[in-house]
Amino acid sequence: MECGKKEVFDMNAIILAAGAGLRIKEMATQGHKAFLPIGGVPIIERIIRYLHEAEITDITIVTGYKHDQFLFLKEHYGVKLLYNKRYATHNNLESLELVLDRIGDTFIIHGDIALFKNIFKMENRGCSFFYTMLKESKGVPLTRIHCNRNRIITDYEGYAGRETVVTNLGISYWTRNDAGDFKRFFHQRVDEKMKKRFGLSWEDIFLALSCEKALEAHQLDRKYGCDINILMDYLNACSIYDRLWKNCDSIKK
């Protein structure tokens, strides 16, 4: 895919936050992990504020578990809420299907990404891409992404070893030009069985499309952001914030 400056449309964002996040057992019975605070600001509010700073105000959040917690975001930030009634039995491919018609010049974001830098401000919006990060597997299955010297995604594989590898961060950007291919790919590749496989995320399927279209991988240093899957991820994110960002946080209350 040739990248370059394209006609500019209003951008939008989709935040996928339907899952229960049961790997953080200490939090699961109390509330949704997207509302874990870092520097006094819940993770998902930090995402929304960064989007607003980037002048992206058309934001749709797909909810499920603890849906009522998200009502405040609708009232305070004007986001749209879309309820995934099958969140307990289906993975985020189900949530993605609910918002297919909204994809086009769009960021797709997991609701449990702790960010300390506004990565949504873009000058050249001509290329679709995935954000990636370095992560130590420690025997936990994840998707290992391979890129060439030009940061183009060439291959991917399941990995459950002990090495530190390049994997999904949980944020991607899709141009309006690629939106049609995105939707066709979904309908061609995704079936009901896939949507019921926990441990399988939508990125695992769409990395195949990224290889076909030669999409870029933008690797984000962990000091700027990380995903929150287990309690240790959250504690590490809090530690990073306290060490590096506490005194220069642009969006703290």
Handedness of CA 169, 75, 175, 224 (dihedral sign): negative
In whole angstroms, give the CA distance from residue 238 to residue 146: 29
Q: What's the one-letter identity of residue 130?
A: F
pTM of the model: 0.92
Q: Does residue 182 form part of some domain? A: yes
Q: Does residue 42 form part of some domain? A: yes
Q: In this structure, what CATH number is given to the domain that contains residue 198?
A: 3.90.550.10
Domain count, the chain: 1
Handedness of CA 105, 86, 93, 237 (dihedral sign): positive
pLDDT in tens, 12-62: 999 999 987 666 666 655 689 999 999 999 999 999 999 999 999 999 999
Q: Does residue 4 form part of some domain? A: no
Q: Does residue 142 form part of some domain? A: yes
Helices 202-213, 176-189: inter-axial angle, 10-degree rounding? 120
Q: Does residue 44 form part of some domain? A: yes
pLDDT in tens, 113-128: 999 999 998 766 678 9
In whole angstroms, give the CA distance from residue 7 to residue 221: 30
Query: Nearest-CA neighbor of 95 among 107, 105, 86?
Result: 86
